[in-house]
Structure 1
Amino acid sequence: MSFEHFLDDHTLSFIQEGNQMFICDGCEKPISGPCYGCEECIFYLHYECAKLPESIEHFFHPCPLSLSLYSYTCNACYMKGSGFSYRCNICHFNMHVECVSKPTISSENDEGLIQHFTHWHPLSLIDLNIFYDKPCCAICEKPCSPNSTYGCSSCNFFLHNSCMATIPRRIYHSFHPCPLILLTYPEYECRGCERERSGLTYGCGKCRFKLDVKCGLLPTVEAKGADMIQSFTHSHPLALLGNKDAENTGLGARHRCRACGEDCLDHGFSCSITCDFFIHTSCIELPGEIHHPLHLLHPLYLMYLPLQLHGTDCSSCNQPLDGFLLAYRCDGCNFNLHKHCAEFRPSFKFGISLHVLTLWDKRPSPFDCNVCGKKASKNFLRCVLCRFTIHLFCLPSASKTITHKCHIDCLSLTQSPLDFKLNRLEDAYNLDDEFYCDVCEEKREKKDPVYYCAECKFIAEVGCVISEFPCKTCKSGHARRSGSKQSSYEVQKLELEVA
């Protein structure tokens, strides 16, 4: 009687009485009694080992387990083994055949026992009075409570009833693109807190990525009031500035925000490990993916620029990008935006719909006006797609008079500086003078145009009071550059109509 076994290429012959020198390749124990074997490749199996099923389903692991033959460490009992094991090749998960064969809850005599995927033994209600020190929950790591703790005393494994009922078996985490499955591993390094751990972990076997349960279940940015959170902006958990975890970093009180570049004082988050990473509470809520009208082909992702691209110009304002800061980027097109440039949205139309102008206020500019040829310093309009720049005064369709909720009277577009603010004509060129906007109460460039009420001497910066201009038709064409990785546009023809 022969036998075809899936782990050997040859047909195994039935041997009525095994030789004591035969060693079973499955359990690695001597063979006595009936067995199957191949003398050519010296492969022998106990009769019982040869009949083990090729694959099984087990409550301790969500994937099917296949019978395999090699050295391993059992993910259930943490003991090393060789020979047969039941293995998940996707998750790199192994169990001894003996561990798989342990009894599970299947009869009415098992009252009071619970079979849970966090542990390979049945769990029972634990009397904490027998412990000198209260054991801790394997999930939340807090002391267990009387009358609500289930566990396995032989394995020193305990769980709160509430934690056992609410822990998810599979999660999606911002630190990793693949789904993470709850597993047990004897030894691993958490990719969140970088600590050596053992026991429960959320893991991706394909990528060998693991997070301990505490890091895996940290609140996200959306959770208000949490002292420790997770965010896609950094690969480690982030601690609220001022709590013990943040204070233990040993760093000074002033830190630069990785999003906006301003100082983080006491309203932000820092890396809970040792990274020099700080971010404002407001900046941490930035979207990780945006769809921006300046780059319609693909979404832009908030990320750090690769080292070789540090100093690359922003595709919008042409100013260098700071490699220390997060920026919005499309890798395929090499299109990059400063965080603050991504906040600018086209809101002024000039010409056909493709020719859309964005107001740039309080941003230094290296551009010249395409109409008058003079420097466009601040408060200018620019079409990023075709790189067309124009002063507000040079725009024929600019609203010369507007009404706004900030002032009861009409406001007129006026060239600054205003006469009443100057003692003499030479003062117009005095760079030391300070001029302010009556809306935002911040300093303004005195040569920039303003909206002005002569009766009240009320002065408002353009960016503080307008949202859009009416369209003005012009004949302009845009052609996509063939072979351009930046997917930018250039003007083939532009004719301005003067009002």
Structure 2
Amino acid sequence: MELQHWRHLQHPLVFNEDERSGRLCYGCVEPVFGPSYSCIESNCDGYYYHHKSCAELSLGLHHPSHPNHPLILFDIYTYLDNEEEYGRFSKCNVCGEKSNEYSYCCYRCNFNIHIRCSSLSLTIQTEVHDHQLTRSIWKLMKFACDFCGKEGNLHYFCVQCNFAIHSRCAACPRRLKVFRHNHPLHLTPSLEVHQSDSPICLLCVRKVDTHWLYYCSRCNFAAHLYCAMLPSNREYINLQELKEEQFTGSKSEDPELHQSLDSEICKVNKTVVGADGIEIATEIKHFSHEHDLKLIDEIPNNTKCNGCVQSILSPFYSCTPCSFFLHKSCSKLPKIKQHPIHHHPLTLSYQQAPFYCGACGQRCNGLKYNCQICNRNYNVQCILLSNTLTLACHEHHLYLSMTSYLQNCSSCNLENYFVFRCSTCEFSLDLKCATLPEITWYNQHEHPLNLRYTPEDDSGEYYCDICEEERDPKEWFYNCEDCNFPAHCDCILGEEPNVK
């Protein structure tokens, strides 16, 4: 069965009775499981997925929230023709929230309603309240939600007990599972969470200031309602079919994941026994190179590892005729890796041609982790980062924060959806800055350079010894302590530091 869809006129969308990929629906931006439509052409594979219900939405609609004119179905990219607005979220006039899901719009009045709001029932039964709730009659008036405590527009109320709640809060289940935590999270009143300060949401790493939250009492893990409900965070599984004991282990502890050595990745050809009695692999065959690699201690000047594209440090493997170098640690990377940034297991591969990392956004080459379901690539440095970092640039621990909104990096001031955030203050780092090498080399300088986070003195005048331009004292820089050779990070590493 095929469907010619207005959003993708190039090819028909093909029906799938039981889609299991979990890719996001173009219509409602929720994971796709079950009946769906998608484009199966090779150049479109992985795109234009729709739930069956979203693909079959009516192109026109008469709705009581805007009775004067008919509404037309659109998506944000075809509706906003202003270049400054392109790609941003559209705001719903009913719920007051922003989203990039399909909406119905009145072009005369600039009225917009999300498809989820357009299909809400007049009455619902929800897990968060014992009585049936009735939808407000589309009066766009502010109210305070009795569940989260925040103001909003669209709401349901209980006739019996004067209880009012956001439509989105009404959809909160009593229990759910997020990728970032091993156990189910339970809806819990904030007052019952026994912490010395306001609980911190460990998904976005900000304080929880709502009446209710999702919480694991076993691990003291807290999360905002809407953070836990995000498709990028929520794990869609049937909790009723699983026993609590099944959550005691982590995916990262799966024996098929995080293998220390895999023969398909690295085969040891020769070994020697060290002074401590431990065998050392002196010659290997690594999947990233056609020739055997030999263990070497002498470091060539200004040479980068072909795997992680960072300065070579001892010990490392080398193919001298090809000038191919590989850190010993890079030769032992696991074949399969699970990471909170991506829902599916990631497979180690090698690509000489540049690719864009899905986490830091930089052009990279060399070793990468790839999702074979989504065909998404990640730089190995980003995937090898743990969820919690302790860095010399900041006095507190930094926690991985994944949100649906852009967050500013305190170092470079660029925005990203993935950052490492401090739970104590407003300090945050994007993955590009978090993976900057502590020590590196510059091809026109004989000594190694160290990453510095604060000005080298209090002179008030700071310049780069490479470009001779002024340096911002708030920005990080590299410096040779022996020669007092300060320089911009970009001047030392180049415009594409992860491409060899």
TM-score by length of 1: 0.32
**Higher Rg of the two aligned structures:** 1
